[in-house]
Chains A and B, each alone.
Chain A
């Protein structure tokens, strides 16, 4: 297999890497670029633990070829905080204990941020449907949903 050279933008910074043609964006982020925030759960697009945005669209990075990142803009959980300043979603998730083991949390935060950018005031149903592709096997979702609602309220009043 001939390796490919990919030039892309990740969290606003220019990045480049070499990958195999059948390598996923998730593997390239984790193994080539050291960005291990996105997790591999199922590897088949069911669990959402690998969620990132690609040109502004929420996607499962396990279902994107690394080669497809050429010329694209990728945003991962690593770009969510502003230096030491956590994003309101990140802070409220900690304050409200909306996580236990934490494996699903980066994906849920990236997905929730994408939701609030599209709809700053989502109903509980809208949050639940939007996050239906993010599986959590610990908390039972209620704390997650409430944390998203609280962070959304805070961001609206900011």
Chain B
């Protein structure tokens, strides 16, 4: 195995593209090191990218935030402006692992690890977050929701890697929330999860809504019908019921010891409902 700290993004892409064997990108390392140690993968090449320019930074850009691929969960939680603007995205990122893991884990790593249950991903998808991808052909921007391809798989090409996540500007009276269900109170993998991002009109009516669910399909899933069900409402019972139906219809989970199909499906709907109410309150809505 070779460990390399390239001097530029271009050099990283060249190295990754030229590697004939297995390669891994190292940022927080909380998934890569576990894979390495459990001998799930034996990489020929590890490319450490977190020292590169901007990769450890959270910067305001066009009214939104650009979060570098090396930014840890703990660093996000300490950024007051980011927490105020995107509390749901931050609370998802902060649910990854223990304090020790929070010191290293990144949203980009969580996304690229490809788990359907990744805690930071529903919040990013609901936020309409965009990943900046660097590769042998240069840079491209890809919506986060298009990155996961299935459990453990992404749509990134050979030599490509994500350098940052962009969270767009949002109007006043907008907020988001993320909830997951686990059988214990801390440090577990979501059985089902939901992220909800709402924008409200002056009178408290929902003017735009995005709902994403996790752990109930091969990838985190955006549910456009669920968002549409909330638009024009003040989260009255009928709108919520329509949203929950849409979420349940979008679920196609696995059946395992951690949750049956029925259980995961019902739980996803309940979490989406609760997250919608939290996001609504945070956005300043009053029913």
Distance (Å) between the CB of A68 and the closest chain B CB? Answer: 7
Complex CA gap A4/B26 in Å reads 17
B99 touches A45 (CB 8 A): no
Per-position 1/0 for A2-39, Cβ under 8 A of B:
10100000000000000001101000000000000000
A44 touches B34 (CB 8 A): yes
A63 touches B104 (CB 8 A): yes
A99 within 8 A of B: no
A54 touches B37 (CB 8 A): no
A63 touches B29 (CB 8 A): yes
B62 within 8 A of A: no
B186 touches A129 (CB 8 A): yes
B33 touches A63 (CB 8 A): yes
- The interface on chain B, measured as residues whose beta carbon lies within 8 A of the other chain's beta carbons, has a size of 25
B115 within 8 A of A: no
A59 touches B103 (CB 8 A): yes
Given A63-B104, A111-B99, the answer on whether A21 and B46 have CB atoms closer than 8 Å is yes
Dominant SS among interface residues on chain A: mixed
B97 within 8 A of A: yes
A51 within 8 A of B: yes
Tell me the total A-B contact number using a CB cutoff of 8 A: 85
**B38 partner residues in chain A, CB cutoff 8 A:** 44
Complex CA gap A89/B235 in Å reads 50
**B97 partner residues in chain A, CB cutoff 8 A:** 45, 133
Per-position 1/0 for B92-128, Cβ under 8 A of A:
0000011111011000000000000000000000000
B48 within 8 A of A: yes
Dominant SS among interface residues on chain B: mixed
Q: Out of B1, B33, B37, B74, name the residue touching A1 (CB < 8 Å).
A: B1
A132 touches B33 (CB 8 A): no
Per-position 1/0 for B222-246, Cβ under 8 A of A:
0000000000000000000000000
Complex CA gap A20/B172 in Å reads 52
**B98 partner residues in chain A, CB cutoff 8 A:** 45-46, 48, 132-134
A24 touches B100 (CB 8 A): no
A60 touches B100 (CB 8 A): yes
Interface residues of A in 44-61 (CB under 8 A from B): 44-46, 48, 51, 54, 57-60
Distance (Å) between the CB of A14 and the closest chain B CB? Answer: 20
Count chain A CB atoms within 10 A of each CB in B34, B72, B103, B187 and give the residue with the most: B103
**B37 partner residues in chain A, CB cutoff 8 A:** 24, 43-44, 62
A65 touches B72 (CB 8 A): no
Complex CA gap A4/B30 in Å reads 21
17 contacts between A and B (CB under 8 A): A21-B46, A22-B3, A24-B37, A45-B34, A45-B98, A48-B98, A51-B100, A57-B72, A62-B33, A63-B33, A64-B104, A65-B3, A67-B48, A70-B5, A114-B99, A130-B99, A132-B98
